[in-house]
Amino acid sequence: MKLTKATYRKPDDHGDTSFDIEASVENKKEDIVDMSVASLTIIDGNDNTVACDYEREDSSYAEKDETFSVYLSCYAKDYLISDFNKAKAIVDLATYKKEYKKIGEFDIPKDHKSTIQSNNQIEFGKIRLFGVSVYRYDPPENPSDDHSVCVKLAVKNISNEYIQKALIKIQLNDRSGANLMDSEDYRPLPPNATVYFEPSVYAKSGKLKGAKLDVSISSFHLIEHYNAESLIKLSKD
Amino acid sequence: MKLGDYFKKYNIRFLKSTPSQLKTNIDEIDLEKIFEKRFEDLKQLLNREDKDIYKFYIPDLGSIPSDLKISAINKFIIQGKNNRTVESLLNSSLKIIEDADYNDLDWYKRDIQKILIDISEKDVQVVKKFLIKLKNFNQDVYNDTIKMIKKLKEHNNFLKHFIE
């Protein structure tokens, strides 16, 4: 990884100095990069923390020997740095590959007192998916308002690997197959932990008749760590 | 503009600290007063009202930087989408050889080869401009790149446009 840009701007009217960093990364692994997570730390000449932007996810994509770039930024009050010539930008970045599985297509429960359930448990790579329960939230006071349909799904990491992100996506399609709405929820999965998801979608009651709910999971697994740092320069912009 | 309309327009989603994703009633918040504030300020504002928001993101793009101004979202989206255009890839490739050491030159060659082999008719002018910039920047690297184009031209007809 190389920092191909590391600049700061003169403070704005509020005394805020912004830092703009661009990093280029070459994927040397066989796995395809589908996501990167980076943090940017700005320190002064005495290694004091000035600013930090962390957990910056980017939908980076790179096959083997391909290069991708990420853009990071953060800001701080200018009085935190006595000498900008000695300030440094440090970037820590990790790349992740994606695994995907469709969990199933579910009918919509007829009312808020019934449920549709998958009645099965699936193991998918390093993940165990407990059965899916689809239910409807209590109807709105005004029946012509949107009605919510929710999914309950618990996901267990059955490995010792820290899984950066498990993403549950639900797509609501009407009886003709047209997409009405989608929703997603994602969280990290620590080793051996079980994490709970409850994404929901909503539509008018009539649209829910004959509609289907597609549920899928994507999980993101570590490929490689990268680190780089650079002195920062005043932006020419 | 209302916050709900703004989120819909730019396909902005948010993660909540607790799992429930039921519709959160933030749609009617008036954005005018906070339009020049940052996403971190928006998160704090919503969480003061118990909205339990952890982070904002755009599917297929990534998380929104907390220091990004709410008014600057369009620029952020355009930059994110442009990351994979040939012009952006070529510019990134050029930056690899600025202040380069020997390894970086090898990296540049691997990278530029991957980009050039996939160009199409619409990219011809972009590549021509890039080659002019490269020639002015570093004649040796330019010569190496032209040699590479000559070798690659059998695999992509559009590369013939760059050989005098």
For A110-158, write each residue's pLDDT tens digit. 999 999 999 999 999 999 999 999 999 999 889 889 999 999 999 999 9
My answer on whether B90 and B158 are in the same domain is: yes
Average pLDDT over residues B122-139: 94
Q: 3-state SS of B54-104?
A: EEEEECCCEECCCCCEHHHHHHHHHHHHHCCCHHHHHHHHHHHCCCCCHHH
Give the three-class secondary structure for A115. Answer: strand
Domain boundaries, given as residue ranges, for chain A:
2-97+223-234, 99-222
Domain of B9 in residue numbering reads as 3-71
Question: CATH number of A99-222: 1.10.3470, 3.30.465, 2.60.40, 2.40.160?
Answer: 2.60.40
Residue of B nearest to A39 (CA): B65
Asked whether this chain's domains A2-97+223-234 and A99-222 adopt the same fold, the reply is yes
Q: Decide if B77 is inside a domain.
A: no
> Which of A59, A196, A198 is nearest residue B61 as measured by Cβ atoms?
A59
My answer on whether B91 and B157 are in the same domain is: yes
A57–B62 CB contact, under 8 Å: yes
> Which of B20, B23, B61 is nearest residue A202 as measured by Cβ atoms?
B23
Q: Decide if B81 is inside a domain.
A: no
Report residue B131 as tokens. Answer: 């080659």
pLDDT surpasses 70 at B22: no
Size of interface A-B (CB pairs under 8 A): 89
Residue A201 dihedral angles phi and psi, to the nearest 5°? -130, 170
Of the candidates A47, A45, A36, the residue with the CA atom closest to the CA atom of residue A92: A36
Which residues in chain B are closer than 8 Å to A184, comparing Cβ atoms? Answer: 13, 59
My answer on whether B50 and B114 are in the same domain is: no
Kindly list the distances between the CA atom of residue B37 and the CA atoms of A14, A39, A197, B44, B133, in Å, as whole numbers in the listed order. Answer: 12, 22, 31, 11, 38
The residues facing A153 across adjacent strands are A197
Interface test with A, best of B7, B18, B23, B91 (most A CBs within 10 A): B23
The residues facing A22 across adjacent strands are A5, A71
Q: Decide if B126 is inside a domain.
A: yes
A56–B62 CB contact, under 8 Å: yes
My answer on whether B67 and B90 are in the same domain is: no
Q: Decide if B51 is inside a domain.
A: yes
pLDDT at A35: 97
Q: Decide if B151 is inside a domain.
A: yes
My answer on whether B7 and B63 are in the same domain is: yes
My answer on whether B158 and B107 are in the same domain is: yes
My answer on whether B60 and B123 are in the same domain is: no
My answer on whether B90 and B155 are in the same domain is: yes
My answer on whether B156 and B92 are in the same domain is: yes
Calculate how close chain A gets to B100, using CA atoms only, in Å: 10
DSSP 8-state secondary structure symbol assigned to residue B158: G
CA angle A165, A166, A172 (to 5 degrees): 135
pLDDT surpasses 80 at A109: yes
The residue with tokens 């949107």 is: A146
Q: Which overall architecture, per CATH, does domain A2-97+223-234 show?
A: Sandwich (2.60)
| Inter-residue contact A1 to A228 (CB < 8 Å) | yes
Number of domains in chain B: 2
- The pLDDT-based confidence of B26 (bands split at 50, 70, 90) is confident
Percent of chain A with pLDDT over 70: 100
Average pLDDT over residues A12-23: 91
Of the candidates B144, B53, B34, B63, the residue with the CA atom closest to the CA atom of residue A72: B63
Alpha helices in chain A (DSSP H): 205-208
Q: How many residues does chain B have?
A: 164
- Check if the interface score ipTM surpasses 0.90: no
Q: Decide if B80 is inside a domain.
A: no
- The pLDDT-based confidence of B23 (bands split at 50, 70, 90) is low
Average pLDDT over residues A155-169: 97
pLDDT at B28: 84
My answer on whether B40 and B93 are in the same domain is: no
Last residue of a domain, one of B36, B71, B106: B71
Q: Decide if B79 is inside a domain.
A: no
Interface test with B, best of A16, A19, A24, A168 (most B CBs within 10 A): A24
A39 CB-contact burial (10 Å; exposed 0-12 / middle 13-18 / buried 19+): middle
> Which of B65, B95, B104 is nearest residue A73 as measured by Cβ atoms?
B65
Q: Decide if B63 is inside a domain.
A: yes
Amino acid at A5: K
pLDDT at B24: 66
pLDDT surpasses 90 at B52: no
Calculate how close chain A gets to B149, using CA atoms only, in Å: 18
A15 CB-contact burial (10 Å; exposed 0-12 / middle 13-18 / buried 19+): exposed
My answer on whether B90 and B156 are in the same domain is: yes
My answer on whether B149 and B90 are in the same domain is: yes
